[in-house]
Amino acid sequence: MNINWYGKSFFQITTQKAKKSNIELLIEPFIKDDNIKVPKIKADIVIQKNESDPQEVGGDYFSILNPGEYEIGGVFIQKLDYKKGQALCLIEAENIRVCYLKELKGEDITSDDLSLISGVDILIISTESIKLVPQIEPKIVIPMNSCFSGKDSKKESEDSLNRFLKIMGASSVEAIPKLSIKSRDFSSENGIEVVALTPKN
């Protein structure tokens, strides 16, 4: 599995369907109103943030807008129902559980949903939700922030990451272009690992 970040809440997950076949999943790609230019990306699955069409997304993709359970090409997705601007999705592929959590605080999330995502392998999370990390206990946490490729400076991106790390009580980490990982790579002995990604051009 590969995870790329394009900035803000836009992530791309590439998972292997067969030996020479991948499934491309996009989470909250930019829309026209974002006024952000990105390269055209071919997708198989798109989890949208609202009714607006995603910008620069090609392919005959399956669009997920409403809450529910979905299975597409061996990728299992559960999108839970929260207020506009908030997001909670559970994605399972290659024996890896990924939770995408945006702008939810402790008082927003139900105990059942918290139990559902507890112990996920990878948690992609916004700064507003960071206090939920100890309760979820993921193996890896990936921060999303306000910076994006092509406009915000490197310093602004670093400052945003440092604020995230301060809240987490973690030491500094070096951002990487993408996370490539297999199910056998996870270890529960190392505590929660913070992985910072650089926005993809």
| Residue pLDDT, tens place only, 154-193 | 566 667 677 777 777 777 788 899 999 999 998 767 788 8
The pLDDT value given to residue 163: 75
pTM for this prediction: 0.89
pLDDT, averaged across the chain = 86
Are the C-beta atoms of 7 and 161 separated by less than 8 Å? no
Read off the pLDDT of residues 88-103 as tens digits, 9 standing for 90 and up.
999 999 999 999 999 8
The pLDDT value given to residue 3: 97
| Chain center to CA of 11 | 5
Q: Cα–Cα distance between 12 and 35 in angstroms, integer?
A: 19
In this prediction, residues 99-125 reach a mean pLDDT of 92
The pLDDT value given to residue 149: 45
The pLDDT value given to residue 187: 77
In this prediction, residues 145-156 reach a mean pLDDT of 54
The pLDDT value given to residue 54: 82
Domains by residue range for the chain, with CATH: 2-194 (3.60.15.10)
Residue 57 pairs with which residues in a beta bridge? 41
Inter-CA distances, 2 with 53, 69, 98, 101, 114, Å: 24, 22, 12, 18, 25
Q: CB burial class (10 A; 0-12, 13-18, 19+) of residue 69?
A: exposed
Q: C-alpha dihedral over 27, 178, 14, 20, to 10 degrees?
A: 170
The pLDDT value given to residue 164: 76
The pLDDT value given to residue 150: 45
The pLDDT value given to residue 147: 53
The pLDDT value given to residue 148: 47
Read off the pLDDT of residues 45-83 as tens digits, 9 standing for 90 and up.
999 987 777 888 989 999 999 999 999 999 999 999 898
Strands (E), 28-155: 41-42, 45-47, 57-58, 62-64, 68-72, 75-79, 87-93, 96-102, 122-126, 140-144
